[in-house]
Amino acid sequence: MAVACHIDPGEFTVSLPPLVEPAAELTVDEIRRYSRHLIIPDVGVEGQKRLKNARVLCVGAGGLGSPALLYLAAAGVGTLGIIDFDTVDESNLQRQIIHGVSDIGRPKAESAAASIREINPLVDVVIHNTVLDRENVREIFAQYDLILDGTDNFATRYMVNDAAVLLGKPYVWGSIYRFDGQASVFWAEHGPCYRCLYPEPPPPGMVPSCAEGGVLGVLCASIGSIQVNEAIKLLTGIGEPLVGRLMVYDALEMSYRKIKVRKDPNCVLCGENATLTDLMEDYEDFCGAVSVEAQEAVVDATITAAELKEWQDADKDIFLVDVREPAEHEIVRIPGSTLIPKGEIISGEALAKLPQDKQIVLHCKSGVRSAEALAALKAAGFRDAVHVQGGVLSWIKQIDPSLPEY
């Protein structure tokens, strides 16, 4: 990913006024419930009243959204919005602790709302069981004081950033991958926005998703808790929020470091001569699910899982290549496949391992990585190579449902 050159180590802190006005009063029940907050001088009754009056939207009820929503609810944020269109899957339960076994198949927003009400019935929960898109993002964001970003894809991150900047909303951002996490507060009125840090998305396939690369479950709690901490500071006007600072966490080394992020005067969205004055027409296209080369490579070079099975049953002379990582191959594999990770194909290291007298068939988990690898093979002269649309997931769905999804 392209990172703005105006990032450098150092300390930069800023104190901001409270984001919301305090509610009129706390009830007796609220005083009992939040007593441990009330006796903290920096929070006190006034701070708790501000939390009660606050409206926070959590984008996503997944890995980051789960701990964030639980702690926002426990802290007494008066109105919590949840936007998520997905349903609970068994593979979510390793890290998305707001959901349980009985919630499998249930909409995540509804499952999360039920957990919140169990933790704190004093919180008003607003469910947005829909896809966040260009058409509804402004209307939804306008209802809230602060946005907490728990998304896991670049297209939505850029849209969240752009909508927040255009509406003048602060938002708390977090990102997780394997053992690493990042968090920051983006508020163009007082500091940089997400585009100041990452002006351009990474090239397609460069940064694997958590579904492809994995994530340590407890890392979600670490970063999600930081996000809630920042939200509380912003809402109540205490401490020094992470505006203009990027917190980087390494769970293996148990190390935190802060990087100063300056506002980019040339930022297309929040810079002095901004050229992006409205939401983009297509964020998916901007971020590119797959590269142009991959899109071109798969034309007339894509087969289905069912076709692959037919080829195998007919003993067609093919060489089936699994371009995933070794850990994924160990979990589940298509029979007859040979593991050659995508990186080795892209670099050219593995080309010598591929037979010249057999048709090469590539597959990954969902078809994205195999498309990128296919482009590299086509460029190297393997003109009749193909890839499996939908990858392992399609194989499980169409051919062998007994295999485990991951």
For residue 18, give every residue at least 6 positions away whose Cβ sits within 8 Å of its Cβ, in sequence order, or none: 50, 235, 236, 237
**CA atoms of 330 and 334, how far apart (whole Å):** 11
Does 193 qualify as catalytic in the annotation?
A: no
Phi and psi at 213, nearest 5°, equal -105, -15
Strand 171-177 and strand 180-186: the pairing is: antiparallel
Catalytic residue among 196, 210, 220, 270: 210
> Within 10 Å of residue 250's Cβ, how many Cβ atoms?
12
Question: Residue 72: which of 282, 227, 293, 259 has the closest Cα?
Answer: 227
In whole angstroms, give the CA distance from residue 209 to residue 153. 7
Token code pair at residue 240: 């020094």
Catalytic residue among 193, 270, 287, 364: 364
Q: Hunting for tokens 């990954």 — which residue is that? A: 364
Under DSSP, is residue 354 helix (H, G, I), strand (E, B) or coil?
coil
Exposed/middle/buried for 41, CB within 10 Å: 0-12, 13-18, 19+?
exposed
CB 404 within 8 A of CB 376: no
Is 364 considered catalytic here? yes
Query: Contact, 373 vs 290, CB < 8 A?
Result: no
Q: Residue type for 193, please?
A: C
| Measured distance CA(186)–CA(166) in Å, rounded | 12
Is residue 233 within 8 Å of residue 247, measured between CB atoms? Answer: no
User: Whose CA is closest to 185, among 228, 133, 215, 138?
Assistant: 228
Among residues 223, 297, 258, the alpha carbon closest in space to that of 64 is found at 223
Alpha carbon distance 268, 198 (integer Å)? 11
Q: Determine how β-strand 359-363 pairs with β-strand 318-322.
A: parallel
* Residues annotated as catalytic (active site), given as ranges: 210, 364
